[in-house]
Amino acid sequence: MKVLITGAAGFIGFHTVECYANLNYEVIGIDNINDYYPTSLKYDRLRESGINESDIHYNALTQSSRLPNYKFMKMDLEDAGGIMQLFQTEKFDLVINLAAQAGVRYSLENPKAYINSNIVGFLNILEACRYNGVVKLIYASSSSVYGMSDKELLSVEDRTDHQVSLYAATKKSNELMAHVYSHLYDLKTIGLRFFTVYGPWGRPDMAPFLFADRIINNQLLQVFNHGDMRRDFTFIDDIVEGILKVSVADINEKYKLFNIGNNSPVNLMDFISCLESELNISARLEMLGMQQGDVIATWADTTELISATGYSPKTSIQDGVKSFVKWYKEYYRII
């Protein structure tokens, strides 16, 4: 099968490319390599996949030197003509759309980036799938669509009409747009609501990255709600396993949503303790009250995903943090 993976220079996209290429899928990855966070990390991910920065050009495929069945192209999702031409030329069987403008706080500064990438860009992917015989579209949604829910255990059956960030609103819009295309054009779409993903090659604006940086540099680590917070921290390998299982599963519905998480929330203080243990440094903690707009706990009800695919996350928080810290210290050359 030939698979397109968007966001291939991103955290989840990079790992997903590695997985599918190593399973001998014919993989094409695209990414616009924007500067939401330092592009050096994105280029280093690509280099790890055998794509050298000097060989990258807009709208031109670059062959990986390490993965013989992987090619990369620098491309914007907003480029409707370029996206359509790529689909017409390559004739993808499967599309995994992981490209998006991420981050909640950044949406306050640059809202148009979210509309352009997450709405216009996603529309271009849907249109290209519609007109080019794509069998299945898997796309990234987010646990943020649940908004200010009073529930701790979150189910795909719960209402999701009270988002509290533009990022979350664009992800909810993706789900609605996918539903329309599944209904009108018989396109099979599967949305995955990711819960607190972490691991090697992660984004520097995410909690594990920020926490590790502050602990190592002896800076105060702000802990909200006095540490009484729980998150369904999900290791990247388990996320990629879920994507793979969804892509090969025989799912009859034309439109489907799944939560994808560890199905076992971890107390924030326990997560910090794991980081302290692996870094062998005690954190300087600043205990604060509840942050406005935040929620105490998120917990993915993955019952439907387990039933449909046999999904079973295997990475403990101890092993996941150990793997992340090992990569972090090697990448930043910390002795």
pLDDT in tens, 23-77: 999 999 999 999 999 999 999 999 999 999 999 999 999 999 999 999 999 999 9
Question: Among 166, 184, 185, which Cα is nearest to 100's?
Answer: 166
Looking at residue 284, what is its pLDDT?
A: 95
Q: How far apart are CA 217 and CA 90, in angstroms?
A: 47
Looking at residue 11, what is its pLDDT?
A: 98
Looking at residue 296, what is its pLDDT?
A: 80
Burial profile 5-33: b = 16 or more Cβ within 10 angstroms, e = fewer: bbbbbbbbbbbbbbbbbeeebbbbbbbbb
Q: How far apart are CA 320 and CA 335, in angstroms?
A: 20
Looking at residue 162, what is its pLDDT?
A: 87
Helix crossing, 80-90 with 121-131: angle to 10°?
30
Q: SS3 breakdown of the chain: % helix, strand, coil, rounded to 5?
A: 45, 20, 35
Active site residues: 167
Amino acid, single-letter form, for residue 289: G
CA 126 to chain centre: 19
Mean of the per-residue pLDDT values of the chain: 94
Query: Please, what are the domains in the chain?
Result: 2-196+236-261+298-313 (3.40.50.720)
What residue has token string 């799912």?
251
pLDDT in tens, 202-230: 999 998 999 999 999 999 998 989 989 88
Looking at residue 293, what is its pLDDT?
A: 57
Task: Mention every residue, 6+ apart, whose C-beta is less than 8 A from residue 327.
Answer: 199, 200, 201
Reduced to 3 states (helix: H, G, I; strand: E, B; else coil), residue 257 is strand
Q: How far apart are CA 309 and CA 299, in angstroms?
A: 19
Long-range CB contacts (within 8 A, 24+) of 73-76: 73/28, 73/29, 73/30, 74/30, 74/31, 74/32, 74/33, 75/30, 75/31, 75/32, 76/32, 76/121
Sign of CA dihedral 207, 210, 213, 216: negative
Residue 65 gets which letter from DSSP? Answer: S
Residues 74, 31: contact at Cβ < 8 Å? Answer: yes
Question: Among 301, 250, 246, 300, which Cα is nearest to 96's?
Answer: 246
Reduced to 3 states (helix: H, G, I; strand: E, B; else coil), residue 112 is helix
Burial class of residue 42, CB neighbours in 10 A (0-12, 13-18, 19+): buried
Q: How far apart are CA 209 and CA 207, in angstroms?
A: 5
Ranges in the chain, pLDDT < 50 = none
Task: Tell me whether strands 2-6 and 94-97 are parallel, antiparallel or unpaired.
Answer: parallel
Looking at residue 292, what is its pLDDT?
A: 64
Considering the entire predicted model, what is its pTM?
Answer: 0.96
Residues 6, 31: contact at Cβ < 8 Å? Answer: yes
Question: Among 268, 255, 248, which Cα is nearest to 310's?
Answer: 248
